[in-house]
Each structure stands twice: as structure tokens, then as C-alpha cells.
Structure 1
Amino acid sequence: MSVDDDPDPAPGFGARSGWSREQAERIERTPSNTAPVVYPPAADPAPDVHVWDTWFLRERDGSIAEVDGWRVIFSLTAPADCLPGKRHDVATIRYFYSRDGERWHAGGPVFEAGRALGSRQWAGSALYDDDGTVSLFYTAAGFRDEADLTYHQRIAVGAGGRIDADGDGLELVGPFDHEILLAADGDRYETEAQSRGMIYTFRDPWFYEDPATGETHLLFEANTPVPEGAAVADGDPARQAFNGSVGLATSPTGDPTDWVFEEPILDAVGVNQELERPHVVERDGRYHLFVSSHLHTFAPDLEGHDALYGFVADSLRGPYRPLNGSGLVLTNPANAPYQTYSWLAYEHAGELLVSSFFNYYDLGGLGIDDVGTLPGEEQLRRFGGTVAPTMRLRLDGDRTRLLGKLAHWHLPAGDDDLPPLLGDLVADGRLGGEGGEETATYEYSYP
């Protein structure tokens, strides 16, 4: 597809722009968007827990925070003996810290036991503010001390944490003050009671300060209310139930605990039910909006993948058009379609780096719904439950292209250098000859 074939921004149903069926029909695996097969790491810095959705501690301008030379990531975790399909029912946010983005130390749970909101906490984002405080935005799932698990979702914050750091290590300390920030209003954002879809979503808050306007925002995953009989998705109720959106809230004061709703910036009515973990990378005045989504959350007659999808606009509020013509940025190979998930893109050293977690592998053709029928020990054997290799992409206007990969848990930031790509090593004669260590390190790249 040439650049001239880019589809124009499509109108949304409840948003300024949408992801249309015509655009999603262009989704196709190619060498430029398909990751190599991933294998388990030789060593895991967190062997006692499953690790999945992961995000950095960032400053207000979006840069990755460093405190006395340490950087911090947060992850959803569960005990390593928990069946993979049950991990969301017991999810706890833990933190890890590193000086070089390669060797990570486990810091333990973020919140004091019993103080966080919800019966468990799902993904979000983290702000290291100008006064040295930490605000952790998260999804409060269910209700504290509920007898039976519910999947009610609200956007919450734990504010007021601090970091104690020295040359020997880092500790995140409370107390945190917990508060519900946003709950679905039923107008812009569908409530659980309104939901007709397979999965209800109101979660994944992402703190973002717009460099162009200075405004402070939260992006989040939601669903757009679609009244029955609405003139959308060809009037097909089966399609209308697929109504994922990327929501927006703004702080009138810049206070990370003070938010008001705006209209969603993108929706996918008739296309996809889940636009997970929305986040933005701004480059040269253009806003690149990224979301993760699943094969099974696409509407009938559409064939998508578990993948990272992206859109681009000239302002945060849009209108957005899909990257690469279809929205597909990075996906798993056809013979390992569920190997990684929950991608997070960020800029570093002129490239777009994409982290994720190592999900299900060695399924031998089994579908994702088949995993739960396996014996418990087989479910655990086939679940990675750790940070996946970081992928390296080129971002050029409306186009992305896969360049190569780094190791599991390798999350460069700050002044970290990136290793040369395979093509660079071949060109300057550093491959071949004696000693094959570099050959093994740079095993994957597209020219």
C-alpha cells in the first residue's frame, strides 16, 4: 500500500473520529509488522510471580523518570502458581527498579495491604510529580471485601507516595491516599448495566500532558453507548455490540486528582470491542495514539490479530487516521498468535521501542479458549508470565516498520545506547570471523 492510499479520518459514532470497517479490512500480516517467535528467557528477575501489563514511572512531560540514577516500572502481578486465566482475579501492582534498563530488582507491592480500592487493581500509569510525589493511576476492579468477584470498573488514584533512593537501591513508600476519580456516566461512556458486548471496559488510565497546549489529561479505555436501532454498523445489532473507544478526561487545574469528562477521541463502533491501554507518542507535532486489542474482540466478518494498533492526528483530540492504512503496527507470527500482548510504545534514540509481556506459547495450534481445558500444570508451562523482548520500530510519518528486537526485560531509557542492528553489523564487517556472540545477540532485523 502506498502513502497515497492512506484512508482519510473516518467519523466516529460518539467521537470525532473512528476506526472504520473499511480501514480494519486492510489488516494484514507482513514482514514489516510481524514479530519473530519468542522463547522463554534464560533467567527471570521475578520468578515468584506472573508479570503482565507493565508501565514506566514518568514525569509530567512524559519523559521516563530517574531518581538518583534509578528508573522504575510497575506491573500487574499474581503468584506464580496461580492459573494464568485466574490472574486478573488476584492482580496486585508491584514495582521493579533498575539503573541500566536491563538488570531489574524486585521492589514488592506498591500499596499497603487492604488500602487500595477495588478487590484487585488493574493497569494504569504513574506520575513522578514536580514535588517528588508519586501518583499511581489504576483501575479499581470490583469492590473491596466483596464476597463474590464482580467486574465493575472505575478509574482510581493512589496519590502521595514518595521514593527513597540511594546508591544501593530504591524504595517506594506510602501512605497513598486512594480516591475514585472517574466512573462511567452512561452518556459519553457506557456503564456496565448498558453493556451488550462480550467484554465491558472502563479502565487503563493513562496520564498525559499535551506539549502543545499544556493541558493535563487522562486517556482511558471505554465503550461508547449505542442505542438499539441506531443508524450505525449497517444497523446490525451483532456489530453494534462491538463498541470500543478511547476516552478522554481533562484536569482544569492540572491537579492529578481533579478530572472532568470530554468526548472520546476515537471509537470503533461496529469494529472492535476492546481498545486496551491507550497511550500517545508525540513526535514533531503529530500525535500517535496506540492501543492493544485481540483477535476475538473484532466484530463479525473482520479478521484482526492480537496486536498493537495505532492512529495519527495533528492534535490530541483528532481527527485520527490509522497508521499503515489499517491501524496494524505490530503483531505476533501466525504460528505463535498469542505469544505476547499488552504493548506499550515509547520513543528512545530515534526509534519507537515497544514493550509487552510474554503470554501463551507452545500451544501447538490450540486456540486461546482451549487453554483453560488443559491440566493446570500444562496451563502454567505454556504461560510466559514475564516481560517479553522489546521490539524496535521505525516511525516515519504514517508508517511504521519493524527493525529488530532486544532481550526480555531490556527497557532502554535516558542515555542508554541501543545496540547496532544486524544490517549495520554486516555493513561494517563486525559479523563473521571469530567469536559469534554478536551474531547471537542481533538475530533479527529487516533491512
Structure 2
Amino acid sequence: MSPPHDSDAAALDSEAIRRDTPAWTREQASGLARVADAVKPVIYPPEDPVSDEVYLWDTWFLRERDGSLAEVGGYRVAFALTAPRDLLPGKRHDVATIRCFYSADGRSWESAGPVFEGSEPLGSRQWAGCALWDPDGTGPSDLYCYYTAAGEAGEEDLSYTQHLAVGTGGTLVADDDGLSVEGTFTHESLLRPDGVRYETEDQSRGMIYTFRDPWFFTDPATGETHLLFEANIPVPEGSEACEGDPVNQEFNGAIGIADSPTGDPTEWELRDPLLHSTCVNQELERPHLVVRDGNYYLFVSSHEHTFTPDIEGFDALYGFVADSLHGDYRPLNDTGLVLTNPANAPFQTYSWLAFSHAEELLVTSFFNYYDLEGRSLDDVADLPPEEQFRRFGGTLAPTIRIELDGDRTRVLGKLKHGHIPLPHEALPDLPPRSRGGRRGGYR
């Protein structure tokens, strides 16, 4: 039986949806620990950040319909949230705009400028999304720039309303001078929460409300197109969830999905979530999929402070695996932990994005707060402004190499800051295994 359409949402039972949806359970998450195979090395600032003018974070790459990284005129193309470097780092989300960057060698990046210049994107600022390159498609555009519309355009006081949006009509043009974003974008709101499958802002009882981070995906098994996103699943007061514990019920993160019945990248219908983390975690950010050897690997980023008070998690990349898109997802490495920062630099990177290259899994992220000397992220605001600037990276972090074997992963080493190998580029040989059984590769 196919899932019900949006018009049937009122007849749905949010409690039944939660019970029928695969879950990241408390038993699984309670085993989280900084195991050696999941910890990346301490990193340091690059000699040359991607930009001297803007911070960039939450990066994503231009992709084809099949999920492969696209090239336009021989250039790899990336998009990122950006803010001026003279703004305190903690304020960057309040003014975030999307810029485009490109690279001919996958190592050094140039700016193509703001993506939506000359048009009026939805929201008072734009948060993370994805970008589809579809010049041979039948839809209305070559380039689809999906994003989170945060707040409302023209608002004086920032709000945290969120909906999924897309910009169409613009395109990318490459020539001897580089790559540019051309044309005028038209903006359209695609999806808002229905209050049954996905919690509305008015329903939220948690520390953070989420309905964001759209990510386009074509299922290779069916050819059908989907849009993943981060959300929360409603847990009404008096629910049996979390054994009735009202505190843990506030932690109700979910990975949502919508389908496009026609394959049109601008037409979507909400479906039941792929996974939820009720009683475990509030925020499953930037969900995305990698399909390999018939397995569907579902990845999210999350923070240590978005776990329930009695579960010790980390700022980390977490992953789950199933044998189909709508399968019974189970956590990788038993707990879900794939990649985290070392204990002495717990916030050095964030917002991880995984993709296949040859036999390995590569993971990009942005260089976040470092050299905090044991401080929490909440403590950063108490530092003098010059120290806040000094301790924030705001550029691409080193790319991490990971071995992916069934439901197990292992960190192998790292590449340079912002190194995204070209399609047929061979990766450097890894050092021999150490006596302890782990590979080196951190040099």
C-alpha cells in the first residue's frame, strides 16, 4: 500500500507513525563512545582559507540526478552558507546567504559570488540545502537551488519559522575566466510541516525547532525522486513515548522525506519519516544518502547538546544502514557514530557531508571553533571579540577518508583542507598499519 497523500494528513495518527518508523533507540545511543576508529585528528588553520572576505560553512556540492558530483565546463562546483568575516562568528546564522564556489583541480576554490543576487529569496535568511544540475531534464530549469527559508522576509525581529524552498531559472556558465551564476531566480516554497507526520513550530516543546536542510535523491532501485529533510516528529502531551517522561519527549528528531510523483524537481508530497530519534536526540541535521553494494547509508550531523540529558553524545557524523530506501535502518557501528572530533578539540569541525570516491567514503566539513582550551560553545560568547574571531575557522576543513564495510566504518586518514578529488583521481597511498591494528594516514 502506498503512503497517504498530504490531503490525508488529518486522518493520520502521529503516535502510530512514530511506532511504525525505524528508530535510533536509547539502547543503541547509550553505547556512544569516542572509539579510535571514529576519531579524526586535531586540525589546524590552513595557510589560505577559501575566502578572506566571508566565512563559509554548511557546504554542499552541485550534483547530477544520479547523485554524482557534477562538473560544469571542467569545474567542480560547491555552495555554502556565508557571512562577512567582520561579523562575530556566533551571529553568522542571522544573516546567512548562499554563495557559489568552483574549482578546476578540486583543491583550490574561487568564489562565483552570491547565488541569488538580483532576486528575492524567501525568508529573512537562507540556511542549508542542496543543488541539482539537470540541463538535460524535462523540468523548468537547468539549476535547482534548494534551501531552507528561515524566518519571514522583511521581519524586524528574527523568527525561526522554517520551510523548504527552491530557486529556479538561474544557471551556471563556464568560460576561460572561470564560472559565474547567471540569470534571475524565481523562488517557490515547496513544503511545510503538516502537524501530524512532522511537527509545526507551534507544536514544538523542544530546545530547537527543525524543518530544514532539503536534499535531492534519486533511488537507483526505482528511479523515483525524493527530497530528504530534517524535522521533528510530533509527540503529544500524555504520549507513551519515553515511558511517559516529558523531558525526554522533547527530544524528537526525525529524517523526513517527500516524493515527486512525476519526477518534477519542484513538485513534492510529504511521506512518513525514514527514521526518528524520539527520546534520544532533537536535531538530525543535513540528512543525506550514499548507496553502495545494495546498501542505503543514511548520514546526519548532530551536536552533543541535542542529546537527552542522560545520553552522552558528541558533535559528530552519525550513520544508519538499510537494504532499501524505506528499509529498517540500523545504526552503523552499533551506536551510529561514524566520525567525531577528538576530546581535546570537540568542536573543531561540523556539518559533515559524505560521498563515495573509488573504494572509500570521503567526508567534507567546515572548520569550526578550535583552540577553546576546554570551553563549551556557550562559553565562546563570553570571550573578547578578538578571541572569538581568532578561534573560529569559517572555511573548509580537511577531507576525511573512511573505510565503509557493511555496517562498519573506520577512519583511514585525511586529505588537505577543501580537497575534493576529481572523478578519476587516485588517492595517496596510506601508511602501513600500525602495530595496534589501525592505519596511520593522519600525516
TM-score computed with the length of structure 2 as normaliser: 0.92
Partner secondary structure for residue 13 of structure 1: helix
Partner secondary structure for residue 32 of structure 1: helix
Residue number in structure 2 paired with 1:324 = 333
Q: 2:442 aligns with which of 432, 441, 444?
A: 444
Residue number in structure 1 paired with 2:9 = none
CA distance in 1, matches of 2:125, 2:20: 30
Query: Aligned pair 1:313/2:313, yes or no?
Result: no
CA distance in 2, matches of 1:15, 1:130: 39
- Say whether the 8 Å CA contact 2:119–2:186 is kept in structure 1: no
Residue number in structure 2 paired with 1:205 = 214
Deviation (angstroms), 1:417: 2.0
Q: 1:58 aligns with which of 63, 74, 79?
A: 63
Instruction: Name whichever of 274-283 and 122-131 sits farther off.
Output: 122-131
CA distance in 2, matches of 1:190, 1:444: 42
CA distance in 1, matches of 2:353, 2:377: 22
CA distance in 2, matches of 1:343, 1:12: 28
Query: Aligned pair 1:103/2:112, yes or no?
Result: no
Among the aligned pairs, what percent are the same residue? 64
- Say whether the 8 Å CA contact 1:143–1:150 is kept in structure 2: yes
Task: Give the aligned residue type for 2:442.
Answer: Y
Residue number in structure 2 paired with 1:419 = 428
Deviation per CA, 1:233-271, whole angstroms, max 9, x where unpaired?
Answer: 111000000000000000011111100000000000000
Partner secondary structure for residue 56 of structure 1: strand
Task: Give the aligned residue type for 1:111.
Answer: F
Partner secondary structure for residue 192 of structure 1: coil
CA distance in 1, matches of 2:432, 2:100: 36
Provide closer, same or farther for how the CA distance between residues 336 and 278 of structure 1 changes in structure 2, counting only shifts above 3 A. Answer: same
Q: 1:41 aligns with which of 12, 22, 46?
A: 46
1:7-46 matches, within 5 Å, as: 13=18, 16-46=21-51
Residue number in structure 1 paired with 2:241 = 232
Deviation (angstroms), 1:130: 3.7
How many equivalent pairs are there? 420
CA distance in 2, matches of 1:166, 1:14: 53
Deviation per CA, 1:376-395, whole angstroms, max 9, x where unpaired?
Answer: 11111111111000000000
Q: 1:124 aligns with which of 120, 129, 137?
A: 129
Residue number in structure 2 paired with 1:260 = 269
Q: 2:223 aligns with which of 206, 214, 217?
A: 214
- Say whether the 8 Å CA contact 2:283–2:302 is kept in structure 1: yes
Deviation (angstroms), 1:12: 7.6
- Say whether the 8 Å CA contact 2:412–2:441 is kept in structure 1: no
CA distance in 2, matches of 1:33, 1:329: 5
CA distance in 2, matches of 1:112, 1:158: 12
Deviation per CA, 1:274-315, whole angstroms, max 9, x where unpaired?
Answer: 000000000011100000000000012100000000000011
Query: Aligned pair 1:72/2:77, yes or no?
Result: yes
CA distance in 1, matches of 2:65, 2:367: 29
1:36-435 matches, within 5 Å, as: 36-113=41-118, 115-131=120-136, 133-423=142-432
Partner secondary structure for residue 243 of structure 2: helix
Partner secondary structure for residue 202 of structure 2: helix
Deviation per CA, 1:149-180, whole angstroms, max 9, x where unpaired?
Answer: 11100000001221111233111212111000
Instruction: Name whichever of 410-419 and 322-331 sits farther off.
Output: 410-419
CA distance in 2, matches of 1:14, 1:254: 30
Task: Give the aligned residue type for 2:352.
Answer: W
Task: Give the aligned residue type for 1:109.
Answer: P
| Structure 2 residue runs without a partner (length 5+) | 1-15, 435-439
- Say whether the 8 Å CA contact 1:16–1:318 is kept in structure 2: no
Deviation (angstroms), 1:424: 8.3
Partner secondary structure for residue 18 of structure 1: coil
Partner secondary structure for residue 57 of structure 2: strand
Aligned-residue CA RMSD (Å) = 1.6
- Say whether the 8 Å CA contact 1:15–1:267 is kept in structure 2: no
CA distance in 1, matches of 2:441, 2:405: 24
Residue number in structure 1 paired with 2:6 = none
CA distance in 1, matches of 2:281, 2:203: 17
CA distance in 2, matches of 1:224, 1:14: 11
TM-score computed with the length of structure 1 as normaliser: 0.92
Partner secondary structure for residue 39 of structure 2: coil
Provide closer, same or farther for how the CA distance between residues 184 and 12 of structure 1 changes in structure 2, counting only shifts above 3 A. Answer: closer
| Structure 1 residue runs without a partner (length 5+) | 1-10, 426-441
CA distance in 1, matches of 2:343, 2:172: 43
CA distance in 2, matches of 1:255, 1:241: 35
Provide closer, same or farther for how the CA distance between residues 155 and 15 of structure 1 changes in structure 2, counting only shifts above 3 A. Answer: farther
Residue number in structure 1 paired with 2:10 = none
Task: Give the aligned residue type for 2:26.
Answer: R
Partner secondary structure for residue 333 of structure 1: coil
